[in-house]
Amino acid sequence: MDVVGAGPIATVHSTRRPDGGHAALKVFPEPMDRFTSAAFERERSVLATLASVSAIVQVDDVQELPDGRPALVMELCEQSLGQLLDACGVLSVEDTTAVGEAVATALVAAHEAGLVHGGVTPHNVLLREDGEPVLADFGVALRRRYRQSAGPWTAPEVAGGAEPTERSDLYGLGAVLFTALTGRRPGERAELPEALGELVTRLLAVDPAERPPNARAVLSELTGAPGEAAGFDDFPEDVDHSTTKEVEDEFFAEWEGKPVAKAASSDEDVPLPARRKALGIVAALAVLIAVPVLARRQPPPELDAPPNYAGSNVGLTVHTTRRLDFVLDPPVDKGKSVVLTWHSDADLEYAVVIAGESIETKVVRVGRKASTRVPVDKVRRYCFQVQGTDGIDTFQTEPQPIRQAVCSEGQ
């Protein structure tokens, strides 16, 4: 087994599953007592009910090594946010917001199920091969058994001996965002960007009562944080979309992992490491660990949705299948991008259908994520739909419009 990470308590190894795939094996230094084992299994059973939440890393199995030490079998993520920051320095506001949304999404699900994380840090915010941020190491049972000294991301009340709570988890989220934005640890002097600074400051309040009330409130702020939606101007006939369409196409090409031809600019004079940092989490991760993401970004044939426009309507072609509780929430229009969030009562692979007025419909596969940010033209009308498959059947949400678009389903 190869060692892929080592923390203050446990060591993480890469191992092979019986099916030939890879998994992470997190090994603790001493055996569990029966009280810890029972408490951990209770937490793990709660966590298992949240398997549909893509931002949460599940514990697939608990094994006992020959010497009695416990080992947790989990999804293998090659890199943590902490390792990425060590290599890249800081993240952009946009990428930090993406990390915050993922962690807050995980905390919303856990807290509303009665589960406290207990120790959110950059080292248990992990990055999947496609750059998706996820949160691992939920629960307090193992933290009580394998105690460690308070770190820079520990809430002040927990460092003082109090039990971890939902509010201390929010402090941990704030600490992660602070480090991602500044490259420094909480408590060190650093200037925060205006876009997220006020929220991060409240999350890091010494008094837990002065922090946001819950993770859902934080998630709402994050999904509405960067940028403001452009006003709807009823698409006047003299609008020239040529420039915005070029920007949109370039954004989609980079989003889907395709090469983009760009005109020479002063950016070519920027040193290579700086350009890499500007590419975002997915690109930075691909550079650091050489993970190809192109194949992942291609929509599968069964999710293909050709355009079907009827008059000024925005058309979507869908499949008719058995019913499933599968809902796309109203899109959050940020002007140059739209935040989409959805939920279903099944474990599916998803693809997002983006149908814009007078442009080609796009279908982008997003894996098992339950939210994504889509680049859009500032003024064009759009309809969005999420399709999913369990490998046997295909499902779709009802289309959702922005900017007074009228969505029609093609036959």
Assign residue 351 the CATH number of its domain.
Answer: 2.60.40.10
Is residue 272 assigned to a domain? no
Q: DSSP secondary-structure letter at 391?
A: S
The lowest-confidence range among 123-127, 272-276, 306-310, 337-341 is 272-276
80 with 187, same domain? Answer: yes
Indicate whether 266 belongs to any domain.
Answer: no
pLDDT of residue 358: 77
The answer to whether residue 395 is domain-embedded is yes
The answer to whether residue 270 sits within a structural domain is no
Domain endpoint, select from 226, 250, 271: 226
Residue 102 in any domain: the answer is yes
Give yes or no for residue 255 having a pLDDT over 70.
no
> Which of the 8 DSSP states describes residue 56?
B
Q: Residue 391 pLDDT > 80, yes or no?
A: no
The Cα 320–Cα 312 span in angstroms is: 24
Domains: count for the chain: 2
Q: Which of 105, 127, 90 is nearest to 4 (CA)?
A: 127
Is 347 in the same domain as 207? no
Tell me the C-alpha distance between 25 and 236, whole Å: 58
What is the rounded distance in angstroms from the CA atom of residue 302 to the CA atom of residue 384?
17
| Averaged pLDDT, 136-149 | 88
The CA distance from 379 to 124, in Å, is 39
391 or 286, greater pLDDT: 391
What's the rounded Cα separation, in Å, for the pair 28 and 309? Answer: 58
| Together in a domain, 206 and 320 | no
Does residue 251 lie in a domain region? no
Burial class (CB in 10 A: 0-12, 13-18, 19+), 342: buried
Among residues 204, 226, 248, the one where a domain terminates is 226
Instruction: Give yes or no: residues 203 and 74 share one domain.
Output: yes
Containing domain of residue 391, as a range?
299-411
**Residue at 152 is within a domain:** yes
- 285-330, pLDDT tens digit by residue? 333 332 222 122 233 333 333 333 233 344 444 444 456 789 999 9
Domain final residue pick, 198, 226, 254: 226
One domain for residues 175 and 319: no
Both 196 and 330 in a single domain? no
Residue 251's pLDDT is 45
The distance of Cα 139 from the centroid of its chain, to the nearest Å, equals 20
pTM value is 0.58
CA distances from 227 to 255, 336, 356 (A): 19, 8, 21
DSSP assignment of 154-199 equals S-HHHHTTPPP-HHHHHHHHHHHHHHHHHSS-TTS--PPPHHHHHH
User: Do 327 and 213 share a structural domain?
Assistant: no
Q: Tokens standing for 1?
A: 């087994």
Q: Are residues 332 and 215 in the same domain?
A: no
Q: What is the mean pLDDT of residues 348-373?
A: 84
Give domain status of residue 9, yes or no. Answer: yes
CA distance linking residue 271 with residue 111, whole number of Å:
43
Least confident of 22-26, 177-181, 388-392, 407-411: 407-411
Residues 169 and 306 reside in one and the same domain: no
Are 45 and 163 in the same domain?
yes
Q: For residue 289, with 0-12 CB atoms within 10 Å meaning exposed, 13-18 middle and 19 or more buried, which class applies? A: middle
What CATH number should be reported for the domain holding residue 142?
A: 1.10.510.10
